[in-house]
Amino acid sequence: MARSGRKAGVKGSRMNYEARMFGRDEQLAIAGEGEVRSRRRWLIVIAAIAVVAAAIAWFVFASGKGDGDKAAAAGKGAATAGGDRQLPVVSVAVPGRQSIDRLINGTGSLAARREMPVGVAGEGGEVTRVLVEPGDWVAAGQVLATVDRSVQSQTAQSQAANIRVAQADLSLAQAELDRAKQLVGRGFISKADLDRKTATRDAAAARVRVAQAQHSETAARNRRLDIRSPAAGLVLTRTVEPGQIVSAGSGTLFRVAQGGQFEMRVQLSEADLQRIPVGARVDVTPVGTAEKFAGQVWQVSPVIDPQTRQGIARVALSYNKSLRPGGFASANIHTGGEVAPLLPQSAIQSDPKGNFVYILNAKDETERRPITTGDVSDIGVAITSGLSGAERVVLTAGAFLNPGQKVKPNLIKQQR
């Protein structure tokens, strides 16, 4: 029994081993078959791609063979167009000649053309009234302020009484002289008495004149207590108030612009002053406003400040409430006109040899042209020599060009 059991176990083990080996061989066989199928599919795909590539190559070769000449011509044109695109494009203009108004720009301060400081002309005293304000127009001799004159008035009255006393003495002396002349012929009065009465009459008449002169002097002093405008004009400042004690040493109490006339004092260089004629037209623009006021140069400074090397051109202006003495303003002085080519600042080049521009010849090649510049303004630079105005002048990119360089011009029409 034991032996038969062992034989049965060995037999079972051998059967299990064989079963496992058989299963592995079957799996290997299945895997091999799948790999073969995968390789077969890849070969089919590769073959299809090769066929498609061959068809495309044949089509391209067939179509290209007929159009070879056209392709060559197109390539040559593209090369030519590419060469044109490599040329630099520059803006050019024919400036021509035009009338240019020469301007000189400057700055300066506004002031009264004739400013009159007004102070105390008499002995002064306490101010009783101030009759004007800054900005008021006054006439010649108009009272601006009054000073207390109570004491001076009493003095004037006393002197007026002295005049009447002297006149009474004169009347009495004249009457006595008249009677003496009637009696001298009868012998009642001597010639000497007549002479004395004549002298008495003359002395009385002199005392009348003295009294009158003293009274006139006092009246004139009293009138000088009133602070008056020396001429018609515009009151600019007032530095006195009622109750203030003033005297001859009080300084300026009022400032009056004679006739309301203003001016601008333009600070200019020595070279600019030489170019400004008396009577030149001026546009004045005060700071803080865009309004322009017309003026005229009425005086050019005869001296130059040795420190600043500048002088003053005085521009006459009519009264306007927007013009305030002491304010700051800018001025454009018109000094005349000239006919010349006008170019923008970008067209002007400079080097150690001087100013120059580039012009284009008939072959669109750049040529250097030396020039002399004139006035510079907001509208451009005047060319006084070197150009006739008929040339094609390079307006921009001149700093990147060289003489003889070929360019592609872009003609711009300048506004006149």
Over the chain (416 residues), the average pLDDT of each successive run of 10 is 42 45 44 56 70 62 47 43 69 86 88 92 87 94 89 81 90 87 75 85 92 87 86 94 89 93 93 89 91 93 90 93 91 84 89 91 91 81 88 86 90 73
Predicted pLDDT at 108: 94
Contacts of 42 (CB under 8 A, 6+ apart): none
Predicted pLDDT at 52: 65
Q: What is the pTM of this model?
A: 0.54
Question: What DSSP designation does 108 have?
Answer: E
Instruction: Provide long-range contacts, Cβ within 8 A and 24+ apart, for 195-200.
Output: 197/173, 200/173, 200/176
Alpha-carbon distance 347 to 361, whole Å?
17
Other C-beta atoms lying within 10 Å of the C-beta of residue 356: 18
* Of 355, 370, 367, nearest in space to 401 by CA: 367
Angle at 239 between CA 236 and CA 244, to 5 degrees: 150
Dihedral of the alpha carbons of 173, 176, 177, 182, in degrees to the nearest 10: 170
Asked whether the beta carbons of 258 and 240 are under 8 A apart, the reply is: no
Predicted pLDDT at 258: 92
Alpha-carbon distance 328 to 250, whole Å?
30
**Bridge partners for 59 per DSSP:** none
